[in-house]
Chains A and B, each alone.
Chain A
């Protein structure tokens, strides 16, 4: 069954290009949308969520135009990239409201919200206001709002951004479980290793165009040639650096005002060591991110190699 069908779909914001002539079909499973910031991932996500209209061409979800067709949005769960939400509400209130608006009857909305919050491992914090949540908790709450109405199709825009390594593993596992439950999921990220943890099926998007799609293996080989950078914001960066300094895959360590930036040639090993180091040393990690300059370089390389789709 075709879930998404983009047919020469383009979107401009005035003179700024969002996506250009994207033709793409999504049948099901988990698919990763990979591309550097500004590549057009969020634009494609918003088009699928019914938040934007194509400037040219068409895009349908389950055969319907999601911008115009209210009913098809009942089947979609969308977690946006941005963190802004109604911070005055508790997590339970927020997810309950979203469930009601998505069509869960009022009498069942709270229990559906509690289920969704539990699925995201947030039960202990469900009565706390979102205002005081860390980035990771906000991400989990956003995911809970997206799944509370039991949608068939999930759109998760950068769901692992800013999440600490331990929570990252946990969230990845929870997203996988949703896919195992039969949901079609599109996850976007500018970090290959985040996507790779979820799926091997990726769509590479760059400068508004689908550059490559299919198995992650080939693109990974290209990306591995470039050092991968990981920025860790924490209270004791020297402890983190010390734990990784002797590893052969670490190319460079740079101390920054709020933490440390690590360049590695083996991101998988680096993330594993990092998670272990954080647990052992008890360092408080407030944010973990991967600057996408390296990915941008790879995409420049890909386009430079001929620009043909792979």
Chain B
């Protein structure tokens, strides 16, 4: 070595940003983005096919797209590290393990958000020749973040099938739960995202769905952090 390296442990922020940078680089050099764009074209194709008959169900269609894309990026990224055993490189470093999950979220949530919002804007332009309502855009952005955290939690619990299980959980448990005519539906993440959007669901109030979403995110985030801390490579 040209000069001795200081025996310092990296800060959590520095570790997190390094993992985010690593994730971005791999993403840009892989095929996942192309696949994501193809999936994001589905709501647009629906608008082009249905023409002026498109109604508020378009938001649910876009939310379904987000429900696939978030696990596809986040759960797959975490699961792949564990399955490919590249975690042996990450976990043998002096970094808290939660920063690896957080770094992946920091890298991937903006990418998924951009793809979903891009799809939503183009779909709105085709369907109604107008920009989408700001609140629906905010709901989708928040929704992507929430669904990504959920996916991270599921992936940490079942790395091998993290992506598939996350999608199954969201589409076949969380979404149906959200349409139940009972208070229990408030535990549904997708229901709260629809409520934040102000269309299709909810009474227009913002505060409660945002608080519930924050709690659900905190629970899934804690599950991911606790689980990843105990995992062995």
Contact = CB atoms under 8 A, between A and B. Distances in A.
Interface of A: 46, 49-53, 70-76, 78, 80, 82, 84-86, 88-89, 93, 97-106, 108, 111-112, 115-116, 145, 149-150
Nearest to A108: B5
A145 B88 CA distance: 12
A86 B25 CA distance: 10
A88 B29 contact: yes
B15 to A, nearest CB: 6
B88 A101 contact: no
B91 A50 contact: yes
Main SS at interface, chain B: loop
A97 B21 contact: yes
Contacts of B233: 46, 51-52
Which residue, of A74, A103, A115, has the highest number of chain B Cβ atoms within 10 A? A103
B4 interface: yes
A80 B96 CA distance: 20
A71 B85 contact: no
Interface string B137-164: 0000000000000000000000000000
Contacts of B14: 100, 106
Interface in B1-49: 1-10, 14-15, 18-19, 21-22, 25-26, 29-30
Given A82-B85, A86-B86, A88-B26, A74 B91 contact: no
Contacts of A112: 1, 5
A103 B7 contact: yes
A52 B232 contact: yes
A112 B233 CA distance: 26
A76 B95 CA distance: 12
Nearest to B93: A101
A80 B89 contact: yes
A86 B80 CA distance: 11
A73 B89 CA distance: 12
Closest 5 CB pairs of A and B: A51-B233, A101-B93, A88-B29, A78-B92, A74-B94
Contacts of B1: 112, 115-116, 150
B26 A101 contact: no
Which bucket holds chain B's interface residue count?
20 to 34
Given A103-B5, A115-B1, A145-B89, A71 B94 contact: yes
A153 B232 CA distance: 21
Given A73-B94, A89-B26, A103-B94, A98 B9 contact: no
Nearest to B91: A51
Contacts of A149: 5
Contacts of A71: 9, 94
B8 to A, nearest CB: 5
A101 B10 contact: yes
Nearest to B99: A101
Contacts of B89: 80, 85, 98, 145
27 contacts: A46-B233, A49-B92, A50-B91, A51-B88, A52-B232, A52-B233, A70-B9, A70-B95, A71-B9, A71-B94, A73-B93, A76-B92, A78-B92, A84-B85, A85-B89, A86-B22, A88-B26, A88-B29, A93-B25, A97-B18, A100-B18, A101-B94, A103-B5, A103-B6, A106-B14, A145-B89, A150-B4
A86 B92 contact: no
Contacts of B4: 150
Interface in B79-133: 84-86, 88-96
